[in-house]
Amino acid sequence: MFGYLAAAALCLVAVLVLRSDPWSLCEVPGLSSLFPEQCRGQAGRLLSKGELSSYDGGHGSPGLYLAVLGQVFDVQKGMKHYGPGGSYSFFTARDASRAYVTGDFAEGGLVDDVSELSPSQMLHLNNWLSFYQKNYVAVGKLIGHFYDEYGNPTKALEDALAAIDVGLKLKEKRHEENKQFPPCNSEFSSGISRVWCSKNR
């Protein structure tokens, strides 16, 4: 009896959720691949590497896009930096996540493989992602390294997020240690010694 009631309650919740947001099931891991057509639009637009490569802002190009950790942004309003001839034009039309941290802007460095980056470097990259989320319009996801063809996160993205999490924890730990043991200085001059520590860091 109790089992039937529980099942009925579960159905009621499912109906209510689906009525308010019929696509919410697409967020349940695994289900999006069972309903590819229904869920395709849910990650925003999904772009292939080939499609993204045409968004370099040049003549005949459909726009100016770049990707960080597989998230695609429209950087048209930053044309002076990213457009053809701009100082950062090499970031456009691709996902060059690694270069945001390494500063290696040669063709071989402009890649999406971030597996060798340290947790603090990943945190730095995450700051760039937040920068784009705050300042530019998100377009969708890039199919390939960080998202699969349905817009689901790949193992590479899960690893990247885990590294960012470790980076955040390390940062918090350093912050706590600095509060507990503030950096101190000492000076000895004219027979007088002086020690002082910074209070806030």
* Shortest CB 127 distance to ligand HEM, Å: 11
* Closer to ligand HEM by Cβ: residue 96 or 157: 96
Q: What phi, psi does 187 have (nearest 5°)? A: -145, 140
* Shortest CB 164 distance to ligand HEM, Å: 17
Q: What phi, psi does 85 have (nearest 5°)? A: 90, -10
* Shortest CB 134 distance to ligand HEM, Å: 11
* Shortest CB 2 distance to ligand HEM, Å: 58
Residue nearest to ligand HEM (CB): 103
* Closer to ligand HEM by Cβ: residue 46 or 123: 123
* Closer to ligand HEM by Cβ: residue 70 or 151: 70
* Shortest CB 75 distance to ligand HEM, Å: 6
CA distance 67 to 52: 9
* Closer to ligand HEM by Cβ: residue 110 or 143: 110
Residues lying near ligand HEM in the complex (CB under 6 A) are found at: 78, 81, 88, 91, 100, 103
- Length of the chain, in residues: 201
What DSSP designation does 108 have? Answer: G
Cα distances from 52 to residues 43, 143, 146, 152, 173, in angstroms, run 16, 10, 14, 18, 39
Q: Are 145 and 47 in contact (CB under 8 A)?
A: no
* Shortest CB 77 distance to ligand HEM, Å: 9
DSSP letters, 45-75, are EEE-HHHHTT-BSSTT-S-BEEEETTEEEE-
* Closer to ligand HEM by Cβ: residue 129 or 157: 129
State the pairing for strand pair 137-142/45-47.
parallel
* Closer to ligand HEM by Cβ: residue 103 or 183: 103
